[in-house]
Chains A and B, each alone.
Chain A
Amino acid sequence: MDPQWVIAIGTSVAAVAAGVGVAIAWRQLSKLNKSIRTASLANILQLEAEMNARKARVNEIACDIRRAGLEETPNVELIEILDDEMGGLIENWLNASDRLAYCILHKYWIERDWRAEYRPYMQDLVDSYPDKFGPNTRYTNILDLHSKWVRE
Chain B
Amino acid sequence: MNQPIEHASGIAEQLHLEESATFNRHVIDYIQRAAATGLYEIRGLGAKRRLPHFDDLVFLGASLSRYPLEGYREKCHTRTVLGTRFAKKPIELEIPITIAGMSFGALSANVKEALGRAATEAGTSTTTGDGGMTQEERASSKTLVYQCLPSRYGFNPDDLQKADAIEVVIGQGSKPGGGGMLLGQKINPRVAKMRVLPEGVDQRSASRHPDWTGPDDLTIKIGELRELTDWQKPIYVKFGATRVFHDVKLAVHAGADVIVIDGMQGGTGATQWVFIEHVGIPTLAAVRQAAQALDDMNMRGKVQLIVSGGIRTGADVAKALALGADAVSIGQGVLIALGCNNSSYFQNGAHHSAVADYTALGTAPGNCHHCHTGKCPVGVTTQDEILEQRLQPAVGARHVKNYLRTLTMELTTLARACGKQDVHHLEPEDLVALTVEAAAMAGVPLAGTNWIPGSRVSA
Partners in one complex: no
B interface, CB within 8 angstroms of A: none
